Amino acid sequence: MADENDTHQTSEAEGAYWRDNIRLLVSLMAIWFACSFGAGILFRDFLDQFMLGGYPLGFWFAQQGSIYIFIALIVFYVVRMKALERKYDLDD
Amino acid sequence: MDTQTLIYIFVGLSFALYIGIAIWSRAGSTKEFYVAGGGVNPVVNGMATAADWMSAASFISMAGLIAFLGYDASVYLMGWTGGYVLLALLLAPYLRKFGQFTVPDFIGTRYYSKTARVVAVICLIFISFTYIAGQMRGVGIVFSRFLDVQIFWGVIIGMGIVFVYAVLGGMKGITYTQVAQYCVLIFAYMVPAFFLSFMITGNPIPQIGLGSTVNDGSGLYVLQKLNLVLSDLGFGEYTDGSKSMIDVFCITLALMVGTAGLPHVIVRFFTVPKASDARKSAGWALVFIALLYTTAPAVGAFARINFIDTVNETEYSQAPEWFKNWERNDLIAFQDKNGDGVMQYRSGDAFAGAPEFGEGTGASGERVVTNAPVADSENEVYVDRDIMVLANPEIGNLPGWVIALVAAGGLAAALSTAAGLLLVISSSVSHDLLKSTFKPDISEKGELMAARIAATAAIVVAGYLGIYPPGWVAQVVAFAFGLAAASLFPAIFMGIFSKSMNKEGAIAGMVSGLAFTFSYIFYFKLMNPEANVAENWLFGISPEGIGVVGMVLNFAIAIAVSKMTASPPVEIKKLVDSIRVPRGAGEAHAH
């Protein structure tokens, strides 16, 4: 079994780290949902009346924008988690 | 040098490169065979993941789908990239911290049950085999068109190459060949895209070109022009979809969650040194994937414009060389319904089904099609969507070396994915079935030998499916995602985020999710295909998107069952606590 530590007990730092992680996850997943399912699908017809260059905006979100935002989400998460892990002294 | 010679040189060189890498990186232990020793740099792993992920479907078929589906094809673009957010945020770092070799390893250990492990192995094998048959077919198509080799021999050569580096090198060999294959395939994809974008819009960056004006003096944007031309010919507008919103929503979600649940993708994150590297690596993978995925919509739109410009209202005798090449390969057909010798390209099917060619040629020299014409459509041209990317350099009149590059790129995409799939199949047999379930006393050497034998057997089966594809292969490949979404993803997710999920709940959830999704697809795609119309679908969700309902069912049943049965033992709760924090992630090892 992986790295079993016999004295293992959820420490306060671990609990706080996990709560912060969940909070971060919830907000990032909300953006993930909003840019793809929201802007690219549910509100596409509304957004298509605006143009981004030659792209109708909803179409742009569906075929370009959401992909760029996905990358930004992961980059942000990597950076924030590194900081959280340093803060609680849990980094690997 | 003529194009044919260039193709042989490019494909030959790329194959020599893969084999060279395979010999350099042979696997000596099970750990090297399963997870490349566990010390792969996250950027390198990201690149390997991208090649692993981008299959013949991404490289060859996707832009063609976009060209003909327009907005509706967005489901693939968002679905096959959004899954990496789920992987990076919800799965990869925790699975890496857990630190073993396979996906069934995690499920079997977390749910303290051999039954759970075996159920996971069954899901995995089913998902991976449906997927791999399509790859081998892709290899066969590229060979038969570009190298003038029969599909049979094309698949045999492809099998030989994969055999060398997957069986000898295991995950280690696969990782480094995949890096080389990524470089080949992305270069092969981008070069014609730059050319096309520059030709049509004057801007070489395809992502910007698609949002620019066409440089034909009309001042119209690319998408505007496409909408106009298509409506003139009786098609729907390119930027409008024809699928219902709920269906688009569900297909996208099923593809995203399915991506995050695909074993050959997940297992790549077991090869990096640390849990935080798994996050980073998923980010890099998405960057490398996005390069192709943001280019594909542009390639699709440009290809559609080019295709209409060069084919529609052109006399068959004046048809370009590529048109006749693909006609020879059965993938394009012209049925001169009004007998004027001119090709009319309109909406609707020219004739029923795939073309059946008769003997001899028609009045203009075209191959005779014996299918019954569709009377209420003026369309006279049949075109297989899969040819768009492969034919693009020819349609755009690009130099011979670009065509050769695309041939090598298509092969790289198919081979890299096939190898990744073979590896998870073989490790689930040798590690999960033999070592962990039925023959625990097997030696390290014996296990490695078993892994190699299993990989060999899997190659033979995959090759057979590639040469003699049963009708159902093409029908179900896309459904691997729905099955992964409905079976593996919920079990892994709850294994990390819920401490109270127990083995009874997880097993009941996986079995019901898989059974429901499989039956729905089986019914509409194989048993009763005539009934496969929106009125008969559950909530208006097509078989492509039904994995979402299967996933919800999996979660609901798992939670209900776990409430009624004993909660998991305390060691398991400790295990969950330990995988949630990154500190102390050792190297991947067997238990």
**What pTM was computed for the model?**
0.90
Residue predicted with more confidence, B477 or B244: B244
Which contiguous run of DSSP H or E holds residue B333? strand B332-334
For the residues B64-85, what does the mean pLDDT come to? 92
* pLDDT of res. B474: 54
Contacts of B262 (CB under 8 A, 6+ apart): B127, B131, B480, B481, B484
**Per-residue model confidence as pLDDT tens digits over B473-517:** 555 666 788 889 999 999 999 999 999 999 999 999 999 999 999
Asked, for residue B311, whether it belongs to a domain, the answer is no
Q: What is the pLDDT of residue A3?
A: 42
The single-letter code of the amino acid at B94 is: Y
Question: Domain total for chain B?
Answer: 1
Q: Which amino acid is at B472?
A: W
Indicate whether B550 belongs to any domain. no
pLDDT digits over B210-225, tens only? 988 888 888 889 888 9
Return the higher-pLDDT residue of B95 and B3. Answer: B95
Q: Is residue B525 part of a domain?
A: no
B511-555 confidence digits (pLDDT tens)? 999 999 989 988 887 788 788 887 888 888 888 889 999 999 999
CA distance to B168, B282, B349, B485, per residue, from B242 (Å): 48, 33, 17, 25
Question: Terminal CA-to-CA distance of chain B, rounded, Å?
Answer: 57
Q: What is the mean pLDDT of residues B251-258?
A: 93
Determine the pLDDT at residue B462.
85
Residues of chain A contacting B82 with CB distance shorter than 8 Å: 32, 36, 66, 70
In order of A78, B429, B448, B451, B547, the CA distances from B456 in angstroms are 38, 12, 12, 9, 31
Lowest-confidence segment of B116-120, B137-141, B347-351 by average pLDDT:
B137-141
Average confidence (pLDDT) over B442-448: 86
Maximum pairwise Cα distance, chain B: 80
**Short-list B33, B578, B482, B508, CA closest to B258:** B482
pLDDT tens across B155-202, in order? 888 888 888 888 888 888 889 989 999 999 999 999 999 999 998 899
Is A63 in contact with B571 (Cβ distance < 8 A)?
A: no
- Give contacts of B295 with chain A, Cβ < 8 Å: none
Is the CB of B71 less than 8 angstroms away from the CB of A59?
yes
Mean pLDDT rounded to a whole number for chain B: 87
CB B262 within 8 A of CB B484: yes
Residue B84: enclosing H or E segment and its boundaries?
Answer: helix B74-86
By residue range, what is the domain housing residue B201?
3-255+264-306+398-469
The tens digit of pLDDT for each residue in B275-315 reads: 899 999 999 999 999 999 999 999 999 999 988 988 888 88
Retrieve residue B520's tokens. 């729905």
Whether B372 is covered by a domain: the verdict is no
For each of chain A's 92 residues, which pLDDT tens digit applies?
Answer: 344 444 445 788 888 999 999 999 999 999 999 999 999 999 998 988 898 988 999 999 999 999 999 999 999 999 999 999 988 888 88
Q: Which residues of chain B make contact with A8, given a CB cutoff of 8 A?
A: 574, 577-578
Confidence of residue B587 (pLDDT cuts 50, 70, 90): very low
Q: What is the pLDDT of residue B476?
A: 62
What is the tens place of the pLDDT at every residue in B307-340? 898 888 888 888 888 888 888 878 889 988 888 8
Instruction: Name which of A5, A41, A75 is nearest B578 (Cβ-Cβ).
Output: A5
Chain B residues with CB inside 8 Å of A74's CB?
A: 84-85, 88-89, 279, 282-283, 286
Within-domain flag for B364: no
In a domain, B532, yes or no: no
Q: Which of B269, B277, B304, B583 to mutate to test the interface with A (most CBs of A within 10 A)?
A: B583
Mean pLDDT over residues B97-111, rounded? 89
Residue of chain B nearest A85, judged by CA positions: B582
Q: Is residue B589 part of a domain?
A: no
* Interatomic CA distance for residues B424 and B428, integer angstroms: 6
Q: Which residues are CB-contacts of B90 (< 8 A; sequence separation ≥ 6)? A: A25, B260, B493, B496, B497
CATH code, domain carrying B78: 1.20.1730.10
Mean pLDDT of B94-100: 89
Name chain B contacts of A33, Cβ cutoff 8 Å: none
Alpha helices by DSSP H, listed for B167-311, are 169-201, 206-209, 222-232, 245-261, 263-266, 275-311
Is B512 among the domain residues?
no
ipTM over 0.95: no
CB-defined contacts A:B, below 8 A: 159
Do B99 and A63 count as a contact with CB atoms less than 8 A apart? Answer: no
Mean pLDDT of B82-101: 91
What's the whole-number mean pLDDT along residues B68-76? 91
Q: B579 vs A40: CB contact, 8 Å cut-off? A: no
